[in-house]
Structure 1
Amino acid sequence: MKAVILAAGYGTRLQRDVAADLSGRFAHLVGVAKPLLPVGNRALISHWIRALAASNGVDDIYVVTNALYLSAFEEWAAHFPNVKIVCDQTTSNDDRLGAVACLQLAVKHFHIQDHVLVIGGDTLFKEDFSLARIQSRFCQLQAECEDNNMLLSYQCRDDETPKYGIVEVDDELRVVCMKEKPLPSETTSRRACPCFYVLSKKSLPLLDAFLLEKKDAAILEKDAPGNFVSWLILRKPVYAHEIGGRFDVGGLQSYLDCDRFFKDKRLHARTYMM
């Protein structure tokens, strides 16, 4: 299994919040890519690398970034010999490729022909998350059918459904529908879906089909990886795996909440997310 971390975003909301803060307390965050933000005692993305490196099921880790942050990621990756970087060659949020195209770039650039963990570079999970359990569940699904894919879900509040992709599942936790940022009245489900997917190698060719179908669509249709998943569930089986919650670093406040949690909890690097 390979891991692809999507880290080509420009963090425009975070940088806007930092610039608007007049206290000067967050000047050290100016121009820092969200995955490289300090969270607890290491960069956000480094939490993932440590957990993935300790995993017996993941043998390669790939990170997709952009030209603006490439040198920063290369400097960071010099400490992790198991990490390889690919650049999407974009320089601003206006010309970004979008998350699905970045995933396709990694698959093609590194000639991936294996199952893929797709991880949002600005996301971390609560302490109940376990890569070992994720891999075990995916192995069970693969034993049932090699076409099976998996995503994560957690329970959100009514007022949070307009912020997230919301999945609806059947009695066997197979995803039957995914709605992007619905109103609470538009679905009875409260299963929010973070950017973390386990894609079967059988599903990887569908990235090309999706992007070909969307080649003339607006960037928003190709940017959110959930749009690919909602398209995929009509073509391949996708199952949900429940977790307790996540940290999604968007603006400054969500970053501070995440950083505070990790400092307060003092989560142990040897066990967190493993």
Structure 2
Amino acid sequence: MKCIILAAGYATRLYPLTKNTAKPLLKVAGKSILEHILEKVERVTAVDEVYIVTNEKFFNSFVDWVNEYEYSKNITVINDETTTNDNRLGAIADIQYVIDKAGIDDELMVLAGDNLFDFELTDFVSFYMEMGADSITTHEINEIEEIKRTGVIEVDEDGKVVSFEEKPQHPKSNLAVPPFYIYQKETLPLIKQYIQEGNNPDAPGNFVPWLIQHKNVYAYKFEGQRYDIGTVESYERVQTLFF
């Protein structure tokens, strides 16, 4: 299994903090957000290679960081060659870029590089293996304004995803979808098909409602919290929660 960490955004909503620092390299409780994520990935024995996809602006920052970071798995930093928020590829196009550049033909874990979370990725992988199908994560959010800002799913009694809406005005459930996914090897060509059909290449969750029309996708429901660091306020909040 390969792991792609999405880190090619420009995080303009976090300026001035991210004007010269990539968001995943911001510190939380003395460690970068990226390090918090990689510690979880390290415990997943199935993952044998990690790819961090970033942009031209922050490429050297990630390369320097990785060169100084001691880690048990090989980490490759890939430059998607974009230079501004205006010409960014979008998360799904970045996934395809890495698949092409690295020649990935394997199971694939995809993680956002700006989310902190309580659950263990080892449990998520166990769920994926048990289901034998593409898997996403979900957790309950009961604050209506908060859940309107994320992807929302409905599942059947077996945990199969039957509907997915990105940032719905009228959420059909309280099941939010963070940007953590595991795709089967056979699903990788569908990412290219999705893009070639002219679908939205931006937020990684946009692929899921398309995918459930083609394949079964199951949702791993985790307990605990996840923290999407998208604004200065949310960054300041996690500083008070992590020690």
What TM-score results when the alignment is normalised by the length of structure 2?
Answer: 0.94
Contact 1:123 / 1:246 at 8 angstroms: preserved in 2? yes
Q: In structure 1, which of residues 150, 156, 169 is the aligned counterpart of residue 135 of structure 2? A: 150
Q: Which residue of 1 aligns with 2:63?
A: 74
Q: Which residue of 2 aligns with 1:197?
A: 181
Query: How far is 1:161 from its partner?
Result: 2.6
Consecutive unaligned residues of structure 1, counting only runs of 5 or more, are 19-25, 143-147, 264-274
Q: Which residue of 2 aligns with 1:123?
A: 115
Separation in 1, partners of 2:6, 2:29:
21
Q: Which residue of 1 aligns with 2:81?
A: 89
Q: Which residue of 2 aligns with 1:261?
A: 241
Contact 1:168 / 1:189 at 8 angstroms: preserved in 2? yes
Separation in 1, partners of 2:99, 2:167:
28
Query: How far is 1:222 from its partner?
Result: 1.5
Q: Which residue of 1 aligns with 2:148?
A: 162
Q: In structure 2, which of residues 125, 128, 135 is the aligned counterpart of residue 138 of structure 1? A: 128
1:85-133 Cα shifts (integer Å, max 9, x gaps) = 110100000000000000001111111111111000101102xx01221
Separation in 1, partners of 2:82, 2:172:
39
Q: Which residue of 2 aligns with 1:145?
A: none
Alignment size in residue pairs: 238
Separation in 2, partners of 1:92, 1:109:
21
Q: Which residue of 2 aligns with 1:21?
A: none
What TM-score results when the alignment is normalised by the length of structure 1?
Answer: 0.84
Which protein shows a greater Rg?
Answer: 1
Report the RMSD for the aligned CA atoms in angstroms: 1.4
Separation in 1, partners of 2:3, 2:86:
27
1:36 aligns with 2:37: no
Consecutive unaligned residues of structure 2, counting only runs of 5 or more, are none
Separation in 1, partners of 2:151, 2:43:
30
